[in-house]
Each structure stands twice: as structure tokens, then as C-alpha cells.
Structure 1
Amino acid sequence: MNVVENSAQAIQMGRPMHPFRALIRYSVAWLLVVFVPLVALDQMPAVDAFTDPLLLNTGAAATAALLLGLFLVGRVLNLPGTRGAVHGVPIMLISFGIAALVLFSFRIEYSRALLAYSTVVGTVFAMRLRWFEPSLVQQTFYLVPFGKATRMEKIGNFPVERMELPRIPDNTRSSIVADFRADLPDEWERLLAQASLAGVPVYHYKQLTESLTGQVKIEHLSENSFGSLVPNQSYTPIKRLIDIVGSVIAIAIALPVMVVLALLIWLEDRQSPFYVQKRAGHGGRPFRMYKFRSMTNRPPADGERAREEAITQDGDKRVTKIGRVIRKFRLDELPQLFNVLKGEMSLIGPRPEANELAEWYEDNLAFYSYRNIVKPGLTGWAQVNQGHVATLEDIDVKLQYDFYYIKYFSFWLDVLIVMRTIHTIATGFGSK
């Protein structure tokens, strides 16, 4: 299958649009957001919009905010489970908010009305824009019925059609999905090569599955099945800097809340408001993780009982009244900001498990310890997609989310996780 692999367009779902079309869409956005309102203002008596410093300052700031926002939205919407209305809106609002803050900080005169108009129109444009070319939702995917490619048929709301004969589909908006590692008959291998030469996109089922589900299933821990055993090292020092700055700011903001929570927890039963537990960290090295205590204190247990007690069940009677509230909104995790500052954790990464559970998972799930290749986090890709889990089957799914995070370890994925974490906290998704 090497010839087919080299010739096929085995690319991840959500490839960016063609640069020329991107330029056109950026230009249209600028015309609507900046140029059109300036022209309209220029038609008004006693207003020369293209020489007025106040309007020109606003136009320049809006241009910078628009380009920054569109760039960031385009990168984030390249990830699975994203929607412009949900994830594009806050990014655009933040971009224009930064522009307003710069103008205010440097005391540059600007038109509030024009900047408000630009913010609204730019945000609406980002919401409605289809970022990727071609749109995979409108395509029909023809499935080569060999190997593990047939797994694609189990993905809901995905337009897939099984091929009966090795012929290039007549549909102009079609793509082909195949398992490149399967032992295909010669005529089907020729089909994939011919389709690639004819300009028909040919996808490896594994890449499409990962892009659609946000999960990576490791079957063989090797370069061929995972891409690389080491995450993106160029992002690691940047991520550490973000962790330091972010944790310092978060601690400064959350410290009054943490003091109040500690007092309330103590007043409920006159016991320590904190819970400290050893957990596996980066590289499997143990560290002491801090939490606000949300359960009644209990004597330490051993063996299977310790494992059972480490799992929080639905309606768990050990959870205190205050604990039920802080667990719902993840406030019990706030002390871990100090773990982040110390370098034992990151703001974003796979959640560290209790040692009793980690040992159980390691005994029953292949490659479980590989999730420790990156620092554990306050929040993670599995948490915003799945929530709290207890069974081995659910943990296996959670592990696939963790592996996806490791494989696509990047700033943009972290941005998406932060945005979805805000939604998770606001709704209490997945809490117990």
C-alpha cells in the first residue's frame, strides 16, 4: 500500500480553504466591516471620513481586530466539534475588545459608534462564514469496503456510501475513504491511485475518524499508528509561559473566592477545607495535588476497597452540601492553580487520576500510561467532551480523547478547550 499512501490525499478533515479564496473572503469582510461604513459616513454633510483622524484611527483598529479575529477563528474552527456561532463569537469579541483596550490605553481618539458597528458586523460575518474548502458536510464519501474503513459507517450523521465496484464515482462532490493498511485487491489499489491522479480526494479512514470524533485510538504504539511518540516540542516552552502567567492572574482573581470557600467548607463540619492526594504527573512522577474537600473525611482504605472509594458515583452520599455545589461548577479544582504555578500541572492537559484508579486502568487498558507524556491539566479535551466517568469502557473512550489531545497538541486546541471549559463550568456538564 505504499504507492497508494504516497499518491493518495490522506489529509485531515478541515483543511484550510485555498489562499486565493481566503483572500477574497478576507477582502469582503473588510469591505463590509470597515470600508462600507466609512463610505456611508463620507456621504454625510460636513463629514470627510477618509481624512478625519478619529474615523481613520477607528478604521485602522477595526481592520487589525478583524484580521486577527478571522485568523484565530479560522484556526480554531479547524478542530472537531466547533461551530462559528459558539466558538467564533467570543474570539471575535475578544479581538475587538483588545482593539478598544489599546485605543483607550494609549488615549487615541476613536469613534465608539463605528467600532461598535465593526464589532457586530465582524462577529456576524465570522459566524456565517464557511471556513473550509471543500465543505465536507456537503460531500458524499464513498467507502472502499475492506479493512477497518467500514468503521466509518458507524459514525452518525456522516454521508458515507459503500462502493460495490472499483470505479471512480461520477459525483463531482465526492471523496473516497479507504484503509491504506488493508490488503486491498489489485483493482481497488489501482482505483485509489487513479482517483488521486484524477483529483478526487482520497482519505485514510483513520484521519477522518479522528477529525470527526476528536478521538485517537492507539492499536500499536508505533510511529506508523500515532505519527510521533513525542508531542509538539516547539509548543512546550510557550505552554509553560502561558501556564505561569495564566496561573498567576487566575490566583490573583480567584484568591478571595478561595478564601470564602475554605471558610464555608470548614464551617460545615469543622474539618480541613483542603484535600491533598498523590497522583501521577508528567512522566509518571508522583506529585501532591491540591483540591478543596468536597466529601466527608474517611479513613484510608487498601486494595479493591480503595479503588471503589476513589470512584465518585451518582448521588454519592459522601459528597457534602457545599461539596455538591463546588463540584458542579468545578470550584473544588481551584487550589490546583498552585500545582500549575509549581510546574507539576498545566492549565490544560489530561486530568490526573487517583493512584488506585491509575493502577487499575494500567492493568486493563493498553498504553494507558502514555497519557503521562504531557503534564496533567486543570481541564482537558476529555473533560469538555465526556465529563466524569467510572467504568472501564468509559475510561477507554476517555483515553482516546486524551490521545487525540497528545497527537494534536497545539495552542489552537488549548484555545478551544478553554472556550469549551467555560461552557462546561457554566452548565455543570459531566459533574458528580
Structure 2
Amino acid sequence: YNRERIRRGATVDKTVCRKNLGRLTRLILKAEKERQHNYLKDGPYITPEEAVVIYTTTAHWLESRKFSPIPFPPLWYKHDTKLLVLALERLKESYSVAVRLNQSQREELGLIEQAYDNPHEALSRIKRHLSSQRVFKEVGIEFMDLYSHLLPVYEIEPLEKITDAYLDQYLWYEGDRRQLFPNWVKPADSEPPPLLVYKWCQGINNLQAIWDASDGQCVVVLQTKFEKLLEKIDLILLKRLLCLVLEPSLAEYITGKNNVVLSYKDMSHTNSYGLIPGLQVASFVVQYYGLVLDLLLLGLTRATEIAGPSRMPNEFITYADTRVETRHPIRLYSRYIDRVHMLFRFSREEARDLIQRYLIEHPDPNNENMVGYNNKKCWPRDARMRLMKHDVNLGRSVFWDMKNRLPPSITTLEWENSFVSVYSKDNPNLLFSM
């Protein structure tokens, strides 16, 4: 009741908000503790077969890209101080507006200043921790109330935070230098978000004979989201996957860092399943893990064709020639953290085969597939997708095909949070939001 009033924007007493936030925090943490307990009791949820397939796919991909693993940061590494300064600046940024600091924040600022003053001492301590520290202080968790939703805020011990921030800068720098991430992984420096939307539209327009539907060809845009990507990360599998691209001791450090005690007031539990998003190094891990899922969706052959040869990778949304581009129905692919956009082009026969395969598994005698088909209601009627039987079935079958490529123990695609737009001879508009 109170949350409803808070959300509606009615005048609510501050203490009521605070109490409500405390109650919600306890409920969320209770559910999370239950989830961790169930994992320890029934887990791991991922089957050995699935794990082997995921691992070998990633290994084959890295081998085909001639990727050399990122080594442990050497003692005398030439970019050390630059990376450290970048890491410290990033940590310091969050204090630029804060006026009143609590004890741990003051301590953290002090440590940041100290690291600025003698970087060599800080660097040797960081490397010592990376190589040998495997037991970590407990992480405090609180929720920031944005009234429409809650955001978790993690409080990590300052010394460990500095180590993580340095490791994050190091991994991103080295990963980028070795071209670990192909062109479809976003956000990237080459395309700030507004430019990304522009490039994607331009890329669709520039494809070979994309708007030609005279012979029953169809174009499909699928936009969807990897559900519960962070919560379902299995730390054992993650460690194995990280060992493919990192020195094993760094992989151990990162997985150990996620296996810590989370506490709020008198409640606490150990995190043994899922990634903690509050760690400095989480962004690298999520993008790498996302890359593994991309390979499952695209298949190694098409992924290689989109990425281009390892010595001369393709720019985003470009191909070496039209033969490579038109070889496979998947024409474009882009992933922004966990949001995926894919563009397919099917000939009449390909579309018919896919729809047949879908309808054999999900027969639809009463044409009910149109019911609950997500459409852009904010668009005027004539600009929306027209729910023709063939196009609706094609949209559903493309979604079904992609969903089946991901094991549900890792992540899944939800129809409610996805949108599939079909361009065909009956549908003159291609819609998506980005």
C-alpha cells in the first residue's frame, strides 16, 4: 500500500519511505538467501554436456581468432602508473559531488590520495593481492530507492576496491589490444549510443537488396534481452571460461571475489551463484560472458563471418563482400550489455521451412498466435506492424529458434520483453527501438 502511494507520487512521510525501503531490502535479501541455498542444495543447474559445449565453442572461437591469453601484470609493466591513475580517477569521480562523507568513505579517499602519492608501493601491494589474496572482507549491501525501482549499492572494502579498479583497467586495456571483443559488442568507443542507432539504421539500408520483397522474401528484426544474465552466472563455469583468456591466478581472484559474504544489518549470506554487479571488474566479466552467449546464438561460422578475419577485423555492420553477407539469414547483430538486436533476411523457402518447423512443435489451429503478439502501440495504426498470419508465425518462429539456442540454466529470452518486427510484401514498415 505504502509503495503504491510512493510510486504514485503522493505526499509520503520520509520515515514511512525509509521503513518501507528497509522492509523491501529484507524481503529481497531473504529471497536471495533462499536462492543461494537452493543452488547449494540442488545445483549446479547447468548440465555437464551444456558446460562442455559452451567451453569448447569458446575455446574454438579464441583459437580461430589467434587470441593469446592476458598474462598476469608483470612487475615492471610499462603502462602501470597510467592505468593506476585512470583507476584512481574513476574511484575519485564518485566523491566529486559528495559533501558529507562517512568513516569508510573518508578512509577510501585517504587511500586513493596515498596511492597517488606513492604509486610504486600501491602497485606492488595490488599485485601481491592479485596473486595471493583469496579470502575477502564481507560486502555490505543497501538499496537506493528511485521510487519506481530499487538499485543495489555495494560497499566494498577500500583496499580491495582499488585492487579491483586497477585490474579492471588492466583487463580492458589488454583485452582491447588483443582484440578480444568483436565489433558487435557494445558499448564501444567507436560508437557512442546516438551514433550507434544511426549506424544500425544506415547498416540496414546498405544491405544487399534488403527492401526487395517481390518474390516473397522477408526481413525480420528481433530485439530482445538476456534475462537474469548476472544472477545465473555459474562461478565454476565462469572460472573455466576466464582461464581461456586470462592467467589462471587472475581468474581465481575474480571468481573468489564473487564468492563473498553479503551483509545488511543483521542479515548475511554467502554469494555462491551469480555475479556481484557492484565489483569494479564486473563490466569486463559481463561483456566476456555475453560474448560466449553471442557465439551460441550466432554459431561459430556466422560469428567469424561477421567479425571478419582475425588479422583484419570488419568494422561494425560491414562485410568484405556481398557473397559473405548473403550467405546466411543472420545479416546484422549487435549486443548492448544484455540487450540484443538481430536482423534476418529470409527467402520464401527459408521462411516457409522455419515456420513449418515451429508449427510442428507448436500447432496453432485457431490462429491464436496473433493474440499477445507484442506490437508498438505508441505508433499510429498505419505505422505499426500489420498482424498478418504468415508474418506473425514467422516472427514467433524466429524468436523460438533463437530461444532454443540458449540453455535455460544460463539465460533465456522472454517473449514479453522482446519485440519481433517483420517486413514483407504485406508489411511495409520495419520497426525497432534502441
Smaller-chain TM-score bracket: under 0.3
More helix by share: 1
TM-score normalised according to structure 2 size? 0.24
Q: Which has the larger radius of gyration?
A: 1
Greater relative CO, 1 or 2 (CA 8 Å, sep 6+) = 2
